[in-house]
Amino acid sequence: MRARLLTAALALFVAPLAACGSTSDAPSGSSSAVTGDITVFAAASLKEAFTTIGEQFEAANPGTSVTFSFGPSSGLATQIIEKAPADVFASASQKTMDAVVDAGLAPSSSVFAVNTMAIATPIDPSTPVTSLADLANPEAKVAVCASDVPCGVAADKLFEQNRLTVTPVTREVDVKAVLSKVQLGEVDAGIVYVTDVKAAGNAVVGIDIPADQNVTTGYPIAVLSDSGNLVTAQAFAAYVVSPEAQKVLADAGFSAP
């Protein structure tokens, strides 16, 4: 199933390249026509993985330069709709991506990765949190993302489906801001992605949420219609579903779609 999905996603992005002179024996994501600069708007939770993928893409395609703008998916979508210059959009939710596609700013999108929620706590929280149920403790200070951000939507769904009454003390702009609150010890726990817990290393304590209680979110990617460098944008999107990039994502904690 994974191979079929990745093959379909790759075809979505590389088909337009066939008419642009890409070579059959070139490395993944490379083409004689692939050159110049592109700007990629990407969900904050992709920062570590996409930074590495961007470096790999540039190495595979000499003469290219990838600039990233990381942030909350909803905010990035709003910027794109308001005509901020960008070439590729990678979102942390299909709903946010659909807003861009429905506005006519991208012809289609394809899910390239899946993320799962986790609990992050400080090394020494003032109120111990060791399970999902502990988040309902009124003495526990809990941070989540803003309600219109994918990680905030996921957190609210997590609480609702497990019938937990959780009153966050703060709603942050994106998942990295939630993680920062945890690392600084300003809260006892934060709802983040498993990839953020992994990226934080020993700076936080990660608490897994049982699969039958947890929430996942798919990450779609799209080449924007107004891209000023369409060939390179298409090549980057295709590279994201290549085996090289998928390994980076897997190492970061993402699952295959």
pLDDT at 20 (0 to 100): 37
- For the chain, domains (ranges, CATH) are 2-114+218-252 (3.40.190.10), 116-207 (3.40.190.10)
CB atoms within 10 A of CB 41: 24
pLDDT at 25 (0 to 100): 38
* Average pLDDT of every residue of the chain: 90
pLDDT at 198 (0 to 100): 95
pLDDT at 13 (0 to 100): 58
pLDDT at 44 (0 to 100): 95
pLDDT at 201 (0 to 100): 93
Q: CA of 114: how far to CAs of 2, 93, 106, 247, in Å? A: 12, 9, 21, 13
Using CB atoms within 10 A of its CB, is residue 23 exposed (0-12), middle (13-18) or buried (19+)? exposed
- Residue 50 to residue 141: CA distance in whole angstroms: 31
Tokens in use for 107?
């012809």
pLDDT in single tens digits along all 257 residues of the chain: 444 444 445 555 544 443 333 333 344 444 448 999 999 999 999 999 999 999 999 999 999 999 999 999 999 999 999 999 999 999 999 999 999 999 999 999 999 999 999 999 999 999 999 999 999 999 999 999 999 999 999 999 999 999 999 999 999 999 999 999 999 999 999 999 999 999 999 999 999 999 999 999 999 999 999 999 999 999 999 999 999 999 999 999 999 99
pLDDT at 90 (0 to 100): 98
